[in-house]
Amino acid sequence: MHVAKRKAIKKQDKKKHIKNVQNILLMENIAMEHMHKDIEFLKREVSIITYILSQEGTLTEEAKKRLAKARESPNAEYLEI
């Protein structure tokens, strides 16, 4: 095979590899953004529960309903990290 042709093929393969890596990084970034939003939501929920407990010492009916609903969620819905 001609040397110039081999270099052209290697260059094309390198470009494809770089594009694949860029796509993977983009997908990981999107996943991280989604996880960040989920964590922020959970932090707000914990903050609400903490506030309720600190004010009353017991859970309100609304908080009890939320807790019962959360406990019904199967563990399979949660991601393992």
Instruction: For 11-53, write each residue's pLDDT tens digit.
Output: 778 888 888 888 888 999 999 999 999 999 999 999 988 887 7
Identity (one letter) of the amino acid at 50?
Answer: T
Instruction: For 46-80, write each residue's pLDDT tens digit.
Output: 998 888 778 766 777 888 888 888 888 777 666 66
What are the DSSP calls for 34-65, one per residue? HHHHHHHHHHHHHHHHHHHHHHHSS--HHHHH
SS3 assignment, position 27: helix
Residue-range definition of the domain harbouring residue 38: 3-77
Please give the pLDDT value at position 6.
Answer: 63
Distances 9 to 6, 52, 55 between C-alpha atoms, Å: 5, 65, 69
Please give the pLDDT value at position 12.
Answer: 78
Number of domains in the chain: 1
Specify the pTM: 0.46
Task: Count Cα atoms within 13 angstroms, Cβ side, for 75.
Answer: 1
